[in-house]
Amino acid sequence: MKSRGLLSVLAFSEKREELLFLLLKEHKTLSEIKSYLNISSPEILPRIKEMEARNLIYKDSKHYAITPIGKVVAKFFQPLTNTLHIIEENEEFWKEHMVEAIPQHFLERIGELGSCRLVENRLENMYEPHTEFFDNISKSEFTMGVAPIFNPAYPSFFLQLAQRKVRIALILTKNVFEKVKKEHRDSLQRFLDCNNTSLCILDDDIKFAFVVTNSFLSLSLFFKNGTFDAQRDLICFDKSALKWGEELFKYYKERAEEIKSL
């Protein structure tokens, strides 16, 4: 019962949770705490006293700080809260799609995606890439992506990026590669001829697409009935999301075959 009581101190109060993670970064005065949390003294002081009583934080002179026990609790509690937040903020998105297509050990880390938002095309533009998608990639220093679907706008777009010296690494499924080679052979060969590009072929029939750059991550999933959701992307900008995306790309690259020429 005591452990449940300690858990309730944080789990049932967003302000206590925020205070714990705030003090994990650095010591704060009461005035700084109130300003950061946008809360009054009568509201925050009872929460502070309860956290002090639970040996999560303490007062040192004029500053409040996290205790060694508080650091341990924060280390294990923060990944859980991050995961719950990313699920709750986009609950319908996760519920409607084939989330299990993401490798399990990466799915278990979706809390690292941080603050994400859904970008949705209007119905009449649902088969066109999002403007925000194009805009963010166009401003990138490098781009890495995995594509199990074909979009006729992509061959010329990525060739243009390559010709602007943007570093590009793409992984296509075998079926997508064959379609691009058949319908856009010239653009594909010119892409391969650039010294700042890499193209790999994956035999696996993956059921999600993603692109990660130095500034953003875009994640697109299939519906549970097996059709690709061409209308919605999950867009993330946190550094932890970019690291997650880069590691996911590396995971598939290690399983793919690089193509040097046609």
Residue 238 CA: distances (Å) to CA of 86, 176, 181, 214, 235:
12, 30, 35, 10, 10
Within 10 angstroms of residue 211's Cβ, the number of other Cβ atoms is: 23
pLDDT at position 85: 86
pLDDT in tens, 79-103: 888 898 899 888 999 999 999 999 9
> Distance between CA 183 and CA 227 in Å, rounded?
23
Q: Which residues form the domain of 249?
A: 100-258
pLDDT in tens, 7-45: 656 655 678 888 888 999 899 999 999 999 888 888 889
Residue 21 belongs to domain with CATH number: 1.10.10.10
pLDDT at position 41: 86
pTM confidence score:
0.81
Domain-terminating residue out of 31, 47, 79: 79
- Residues 173 and 254 both lie in one domain: yes
Domain-terminating residue out of 25, 44, 79: 79
Q: Report, as an integer, the average pLDDT of 146-175.
A: 93
Of residues 205 and 122, more confidently modeled: 205
Residue type, 87: I
What mean pLDDT is reported for the chain? 88
Q: Report, as an integer, the average pLDDT of 111-119.
A: 90
